[in-house]
Amino acid sequence: MIHADNPLHPETERITTVGRWLRRSSLDELPQLWNVLRGEMSIVGPRPTLAYQVDRYTPRQRRRLSVLPGITGLAQIRGRNSISWSQRIDFDLEYVERQSLQLDLAILSLTLFAVLKREGVEGHPRDDPLARVEDCV
């Protein structure tokens, strides 16, 4: 990645070859293991969201905040960035309702396949209202 602001939809010319490789291989997530060790995150759970996104949540969607954020979760094994934010939140709520060691182990094993497939890594759907930063400025 290059040193500059961090847009939600980065232009491809702004991403270096190394940055693209780190993102596709999901190695850019490894520093979050420090947050897991500090107890601020879990390995499995809903991905962290930004404050402007939480501000747009419905009361039902806010239930996803009842568990620690995670490095991987149901949304990551079911489409990653290719699915809309509302779909991700629905998957996160499903995780909150079904949370168990068995589900966590299944998500961890399926995460390996999702990373190897490298699908859904590039950006977020540009027309997704929960993902648009410009609506908040």
Q: Where are the domains of the chain?
A: 12-117
CA angle, residues 127, 75, 123, in degrees to nearest 5: 40
The gap between the terminal CA atoms of the chain, to the nearest Å, is: 24
Per cent of the chain over pLDDT 90 is 38
pLDDT tops 90 at residue 60:
yes
What is the rounded CA–CA span in Å between residue 81 and residue 86? 12
Q: What is the reported pLDDT for 134?
A: 55
Residue 47 DSSP class = P
pTM, rounded to two decimals: 0.68
Q: What is the reported pLDDT for 86?
A: 85
